[in-house]
Amino acid sequence: MEIGNKVSFTYLKEIEVENRNGVTIADYVKNSEAYEGEVVNVREIELSPLAEKTLKYGSIKGERSERLVTVELTDGFSKAFYDGRMVGLRVEESDAVA
Q: How confident is the model at residue 6 (pLDDT cuts 50, 70, 90)?
A: very high
Contacts of 4 (CB under 8 A, 6+ apart): 38, 39, 94, 96
Whether 12 is in a domain gets the answer no
Burial (Cβ within 10 Å: 0-12, 13-18, ≥19) of residue 1: middle
Whether 20 is in a domain gets the answer no
Whether 77 is in a domain gets the answer yes
What's the domain count of the chain? 1
Q: What is the pLDDT of residue 19?
A: 94
Predicted confidence (pLDDT) per residue in 16-63, tens digit: 999 999 999 999 899 999 999 999 999 987 777 667 776 666 655 666
Whether 43 is in a domain gets the answer yes
User: Could you tell me the pTM of the whole model?
Assistant: 0.76
